[in-house]
Amino acid sequence: MRTRNVLLGLGALIAGTIALGNESEAQAQFTLNFGSVAPDGTPWASQLVDIQNRIQTESGGRIKVKMFLGGALGAEIEMIQDVIRGERLQGGGFSTGALGEALDLPILQMVELPYLFRSNAEADAVLDDVLYTPTQQALAAKGVTFYSWNENGWRNMATNGGPASTPEQLKAYKMRSQESPVHQNMYEALGVQYVSKPVSEVLPALNTGIVTGYDNTPLFSIAAGWTEPVTHYTLTRHIYQPAAVVYSKAFVDSLPPDLREIILRDPVGEAQRARQGVRALEVELLDAMRGMGKEVTELTNEQRVAYRKAVRSKVHAAFLSDNPDMQALYGEVKTKLQSMR
C-alpha cells in the first residue's frame, strides 16, 4: 500500500537524520529536548526533524536537538508541563486543545469550537491574521514561547459496528473524548456517552471495548493505529484542529540573540509547510482506510446541517459563558469569517 510505504519511508528518513545529528552532540553549547505524540513516519514527525536539522545546521552545532516522538516521554499534557519547567523538555509540538487544557488558556480551546470554520482557507486566515499574536502573548504569560502553527486537520467520527451519519446514530457508541471542555461539551450537546482519555490510552480502550468510537483526523487515526479496531469512518469534519510548535520561554531567554533568532525563524513559512504536508495526503489516506476494509461515509448536506445544528450554538454559547473574557476576540474571529463568506 502506497500510504504505508510513504509513512515507512518517512520513518527511515527520520531515523537516519536523528542518527546523523548525534555526531555533533559533543560540540553543542545548548541541548533542546523536543517532545511530541506525533508518530514516526508522519508528515508531523518529518517536519519536526526538518526543524531539528535546520537548527543544528544554522547554529553550527551550538544547539543540539533531541527528538522524542510518539509520546515517548508521556502524554501531551504531561509533556507541556515539562516544557514550562524547561528541565526534561525545552520544546514540543502539541495539539491546541491539549495546550489549552494544560495551561488553562481558553484562546486555544476556542480554536477547536465545533463548526467554527467551513474551510481550510478560513482556518488559516483566522489563525494567521487574528489569533497568532494573542496566542503568542497568552503563552508567554504561562512561560511558553509560541513559534508556529502546525496541522492536525479536520476531525471526523470513527465508530465500531456502524456509521455515525446522524447525531442519533452516534448515540449508539461510547466515544473517546479529548481531554478538553470544548470536546466534552460537544459530546454532551449530542447526547452521546463519552470517556475522556489521553492519546496513549485510546488504542487499548478501543481494543477492549471500553470505548467504541473516537473522533480524529485520517492521518492521526492511521498513524496511531486507531483505524484497526473500528469499522466506519464518517466525514463529519466537525472540528478543525491545528497544532503548535512551542519552546520553554526560560530556554529561549537563555540563548544568545543569534541563536534565539535561529530557532524562531520564519514561523509563517513553517506553518505553510506543515499544512501542505498534511493536506496533500488526505485523499490517499481515506483510500487507504477503504483498502483496510473500513467504510468511509461522506455526509449529505442535510446530515452535516443536522450535526451543526445539534452542537454549534450550544457549545459556542457554553464556551463564552465559561470564558466571558473571550467575547471580544471571538467577535474578531467572527468578523474575519464573515468577511470571507
Q: What is the pLDDT along the chain (341 residues), one digit of tens a residue?
A: 444 444 544 444 334 444 434 444 447 899 999 999 888 878 888 888 899 999 999 999 999 999 998 889 888 889 999 999 999 999 999 988 889 889 999 999 999 999 999 999 999 999 999 999 999 999 999 999 999 999 889 999 999 999 999 999 999 999 999 988 999 999 999 999 999 998 889 999 999 999 999 999 998 899 889 999 999 999 999 999 999 999 999 999 999 999 999 999 999 999 999 999 889 999 999 999 999 999 999 999 999 999 999 999 999 999 999 999 999 999 999 999 999 99
CA angle 83, 85, 88 (to 5 degrees): 65
pTM > 0.75: yes
Enter the CATH code of domain 2-336.
Answer: 3.40.190.170
